[in-house]
Amino acid sequence: MHPRALRLGASVVAALVVVGGALTTSPASAAVGDDDPTVGASAANGLVVNEVESNGDDTDWVELANTSSAAIDLSGYAFLDDDSSHEAYVLPTGSIIAAGGYFVLDQLSATAPGFDFGLGGADTVRVYDPAGDLVLRYAWTAHAAVTYGRCPDGTGALVDTTASTKGAANDCSSPVRINEVESDGGTPGDWVELTNTGTTTVDLGGYVFSDSDDAHAYAIPSGTTVAPGGFTVLDEQDFGFGLGKADSARLLDARGTLVDSYSWTAHAATTYGRNPDGTGAFAETAAPTKGAANRFVGVVTAEAWPGGPDERVLDDEDTFTGDLSGIDWTPSASASTPASAAGQLWAVQNGDGLLYHLTSDGAGGWAPTNAAGTELHYADGSGTPDAEGVTVTSDDPGAVYVSTERNNDVSGTSRPAVLRFATTDGSQTTLNATDEWNLAADFPGLGANAGLEGVTWIPDSWLTAHGFADEHTGAAYSPATYAGHGDGLFFVGVEGTASVYAYALMSDGGSQRVATIATPFSVVADVQFDPTLDALWVVCDDACSGRTALYEVTDGAFAATTVYEAPTNADRTLANEGFAISGVCTEGARATFYADDNDTDGFSLRTGTYPCDSSTPGDGGTPGDGGTTPPPTPTPTPGDGGTPGDGGTPGDGGTPGDGGTPGDGGTPGDGGTTPTPGGGSTPAPGDTAPGGSAPGSGTSPSGSPIAPSEASLTQVNRGSLIAPATARPGDTITVGVGTRYAGQQVHVWMFSTPTLLGTATVAADGTVTATIPADAPAGQHRIVVTAEDGTVLGWTTITIDPVTGALAFTGAEGLGVAALAAFLLLVAGAGVLVLRRRRGTPASE
């Protein structure tokens, strides 16, 4: 995900600071990018690395703390990860961290400055002073389950924290939580279930459990433990008192500090439990689950992976260079040998925009047929697409489709797009896209590193047969609505919204969103259609400990029916950003494939198994046909990326089913107009947002807007709104609602306590602005947008930083003519300034 870039040495950085008037001298001996493993995470002046978020929030970030009694000026300090080829993030003039305060170095977003690279599962924080000296360094080998933070705050060792506390004191409390309470006739009596949200086993010896009566206190015996993610039950027969109809459950640690509590005013019909386990709010459960994960009506609970327990390495060490991301399985053109019967794999590598074609050796091994990979570029031959996902379609057999987040050569700009490349085997050295469908207009404010992670294709025939509904038209999906979109829809997973979207991609480059699918995950890493199961796989990476979900069409919409944990013995810290599953059933199992973006231990490709019915083997067939053996398909000639449209009029290749080649009437891959791809119309004003609450009057009798209820903010309508991940009191933020609402009046709210930020008209680009109240408390809140009739159009989370947060970067345009001239004079002094060019392995995302 990270482009290679030229780097400026510390003296160039120092020169920039001279221009800003903050420094007068710059040693040439030290340079930003130089490394020294002996440097620690605290500096002599009291500046320390206090907390690190590398995977989980909307952005990666590093929190610095000032443990001294005097403010520290951070102007001109530079920040890097472990890759010296990245462009260092230089803090602007006026960056001050108060005594005892915090300063957040945040990742670049569409609404805020920051560093334009990600922090990987194995990475390093490096902070340099204006002279280019390395003053802070902290390294880790795997993502934290929450964050790495100092405990005690500011002074202790960096450990996995209990909660993320960006820009505030670290949460070093016990990770033990009350998870479920039975107060009315359990077996053998009342009981309380505890869980552990941390990453290490906790000995509960000395902890005290109590109800609402201080005289009722049960000291938990030494040796009683609760494992990470595990459950430990305290029974009434042990603690010696019952739990009442109106009562409390309280847990104190060995020091007498309250760890957690829950109170109720009536017995639950079942039990009270957290949703989700350990971290969510309490609610009545669907049934008691003593010593196991809680279950709730309408909520899918993660269950054990039904296939084999392992993920076995497939590639030779260092076959790939570190950021393999998307992967897709498809049958071979013929199945005459064991190797060809196993099908073929397509994979993409994001940092350098490479496409790989892999085949089986028939004995369990897989390797690329194009060992160096095929370089991908945009249609004009420029750029390096940040290739994140890959898929093939049955209606366009001479092409591969790739989903991207951005052009890595312009890494700070979002470019969420689907690209078509004409190839059948990846044998070309380079390929230029024949077509691009840029979806940026649908995702205003989307971060440059938060775009399309995965892509898959589902045939129209399958969608219509299963009663799929079109959110754009509000009726059953009709392929004829979208002329020139081919024979199916593309489903893309978007990292920044943690949601999946279905698109008709049209041959004229237009597109139309047809469905929005919310997920239970913090990240969508890949999507994969599975015709064998008649379901859509939605995949999370190590941000969700390797969980996957199966979605089926219910009442016209895709809904999660099953959520799986990672295979039992799998490493849950693997950055498995790619997932594919074979259509071939052999001895009761289908092969699953995983692409590890971090190239852990030098390996990027792994395989597992998922159970199947061997009585109807099938070979997977044409993607989307449920496993029927495909008819022989002539191998098209790879195109040369010629002038789009030179293959003939779209659709003139013959009536579907008449044996003619679907598409543009030309030789597949000859650069002609692509037959596949999607719709361009815009929803009419007033269309209801997917997942929105039932429309109401939207206003009180006095005419003022009525705040949406807490219950109306569901996971279904969470994925259709984009806002900055962080803001400060008094900031004006831009909220992306979507171009479908352009011209409509909407209300913008901030929760917890519903606060109306304003009423505005959605601009042509699908955005509105709102101002955070000056007295907004620090912490996490929700931004909600409602229509005039009260319909929830969408919501998302936002963290309000304390006023000690990082200052806005004014940019180079702030330099005056004289300052610019002074800078040029400094550059001319070659003996003083050093231009550094380094290359290295990009940190993975």
pLDDT in tens, 136-172: 999 998 888 789 999 999 999 998 888 889 999 999 8
User: Model's pTM, two decimal places?
Assistant: 0.60
Q: Give the pLDDT confidence score for residue 206 in this predicted structure.
A: 94
CB atoms < 10 A from the CB of 556, how many? 16
E strand or H helix at 732: strand 732-736
**pLDDT averaged over every residue in the chain:** 81
- Dist CA 515 CA 689 (whole Å): 10
Residue 829 scores a pLDDT above 70: no
Burial of 281 (0-12, 13-18, 19+ CB in 10 A): exposed
Q: Give the pLDDT confidence score for residue 337 in this predicted structure.
A: 82
Residue 423 scores a pLDDT above 80: yes
- For residue 450, give the nearest of 835, 109, 81 by alpha carbon: 109
- Dist CA 609 CA 611 (whole Å): 7
**CB within 8 A of 300, min separation 6: which ones?**
520, 549, 560, 561, 562, 563
Could you identify the residue written with the tokens 């199966």? 550
Convert the pLDDT of each residue in 553-584 to its tens digit.
999 999 999 999 999 899 888 889 999 999 99
Range of weakest confidence among 411-425, 606-620, 673-687, 772-786: 673-687
Convert the pLDDT of each residue in 195-228 to its tens digit.
998 877 899 999 999 999 999 999 999 999 999 8
Range of weakest confidence among 259-273, 388-402, 789-803: 789-803
Q: Give the pLDDT confidence score for residue 835 in this predicted structure.
A: 27
Task: Tell me if 382 sits within 8 A of 358, measured CB to CB.
Answer: no
- Dist CA 354 CA 80 (whole Å): 25
CB atoms < 10 A from the CB of 565, how many? 18
